[in-house]
Every structure is written in C-alpha cells, then in structure tokens.
Chain A
Amino acid sequence: KAGVTQTPRYLIKTRGQQVTLSCSPISGHRSVSWYQQTPGQGLQFLFEYFSETQRNKGNFPGRFSGRQFSNSRSEMNVSTLELGDSALYLCASSARSYSGRAVYNEQFFGPGTRLTVL
C-alpha cells in the first residue's frame, strides 16, 4: 500500500495570509489526524477527522480548521497566519483495530508540510 502523502512539502507565506495543506491517507484508512511539530513544543494535536466528521480537537485557536472528504483525503486551513505558525505540519492516518471492547489507534505519519511564515 502507498503511504500517507502530504502536499505541498514546503510553503512560504507572509503574516496575515491563509494556507491550505492537503493529506491523503493510506488506502482503506478512514481516520486522519493533524499535528503541529515545533522544536520547543514537540508534537501538538490539532484535530482528528473520521468519515468526514471532526471527532477530536486540540487546544488551537479557531484560525486552524480542517475538513475531510468522502474519499478520506483531508485538508487543514490556517487563516490570518502569524509568525508563530511556522512549523512542520504532520498528518497521520489510522485504521482502528479492535480487541473486544478495546480500541487501538495505530497511526502512520506523512512526510509533513514545512510552513514558514515571514
């Protein structure tokens, strides 16, 4: 199976602009999670989408939004960019596995989009 893909890989924007990032999950995976990775803050959870619905959301301002399409591809959008939004944005796809009533969320990451805000 092809892995998780993300486009674009690199992006340079200026403050105040908006940006849209795209993620295509592994075939058959219906869940996509987004993370922001910065040197000081590690991997911070943004949100998770499953079957076109946002299932979980992290502690980020409303400028960060996302959506998922019927083919499980997902996009995230950041409006009114700030310098502090410069980071590596990673998406991860997962196919939940079940054992009895337990649910396991095994995630596989894409290569990320490196966003630089000037």
Chain B
Amino acid sequence: GENVEQHPSTLSVQEGDSAVIKCTYSDSASNYFPWYKQELGKRPQLIIDIRSNVGEKKDQRIAVTLNKTAKHFSLHITETQPEDSAVYFCAAQGSARQLTFGSGTQLTVLP
C-alpha cells in the first residue's frame, strides 16, 4: 500500500519568514496530493491540493510543488504569520483511491 513520510515533525520560523514542509510517497500511481491544516482542537481543513498532471500550484501565500519522478511534494508558506501556526498534514491518493496521510508537522510562527 501507499506510504507517506513527512518532514520535519516540528518547525519554528520567525514571522515573515518562509516555511517549507516536505513529503515523499511510495505508490507511483498516486495522482492527488492534498494538504490539510489543523489548528488546536479543530478539524483538519483542506488548504491546497495538487493533481499529478501539474508541477506547481499557488494560492496567495501558499504553494505546493510536485516532483513525480522523485515521488516527493512540498508545501511552501511565504510571509508567515502567527495564525499560520498549526499542524500541517500532507496526504497522497494511491492506486486504492484512498488518502494516506503523513505524520504531521507542527509549525510555530514566532512573533
């Protein structure tokens, strides 16, 4: 089955700096890669996703890149703000058409 690894597990950045979270996946048939943000005590919220037929997608301060050859994808957050502090999960949809999640990254934006 699909296996998704996510790094780092914790990340601290100064407000205004950029943050990058990386994930690798194992199933070469994976074709959909969403990212979720989970604030403390709340549900995971879909913030951006990318399909395997594109290499990059951007939405304001958030961007995701995908390298199918290397089987890795990354979340980039620019100009970080305190409200970006949360746990971020990557996921991959493999050949079984279900999502497999990474272990999460606790992002802390320091004021």
To the question of whether A and B form a pair in one complex, the answer is yes
- B34 touching A106, Cβ below 8 Å: yes
Interface flag for A70 (CB, 8 Å): no
- A102 touching B31, Cβ below 8 Å: yes
- Shortest CB-to-CB span from B54 to chain A, Å, is 11
Write the chain B residue with the least CB distance to A33: B98
- A104 touching B99, Cβ below 8 Å: no
- B31 touching A104, Cβ below 8 Å: yes
- A112 touching B93, Cβ below 8 Å: no
Enumerate chain B residues within 8 angstroms of A90, measured Cβ to Cβ: 43-44
Interface residues of B in 25-42 (CB under 8 A from A): 31-32, 34, 36, 42
Q: How far, in whole Å, are A108 and B93 apart by their CA atoms in the complex? A: 14
Which of A35, A107, A108 gathers most chain B CB within 10 Å? A107
Interface flag for A71 (CB, 8 Å): no
Q: Point out the residue from A102, A107, A109 that lies within 8 Å of B51, measured CB to CB.
A: A102
Binary CB contact string for chain B from 86 to 100 against chain A (1 if under 8 A, 0 otherwise): 000100010011111
Q: How far, in whole Å, are A43 and B34 apart by their CA atoms in the complex? A: 14
Write the chain B residue with the least CB distance to A110: B43
Chain A binding surface, main DSSP class: strand
Enumerate chain B residues within 8 angstroms of A112, measured Cβ to Cβ: 43
Enumerate chain A residues within 8 angstroms of B100, measured Cβ to Cβ: 45
Q: How far, in whole Å, are A45 and B1 apart by their CA atoms in the complex? A: 12
Given contacts A104-B31, A104-B51, contact A42 B45 (CB under 8 A): no
- Shortest CB-to-CB span from A99 to chain B, Å, is 7
Enumerate chain A residues within 8 angstroms of B49, measured Cβ to Cβ: 106
Which of A99, A109, A110 gathers most chain B CB within 10 Å? A109
Interface flag for B103 (CB, 8 Å): yes
Write the chain B residue with the least CB distance to A114: B41
Interface residues of B in 65-102 (CB under 8 A from A): 89, 93, 96-102
- Shortest CB-to-CB span from A87 to chain B, Å, is 14
Interface residues of A (CB under 8 A from B): 33, 35, 42-43, 45, 48, 56, 90, 99, 102-112
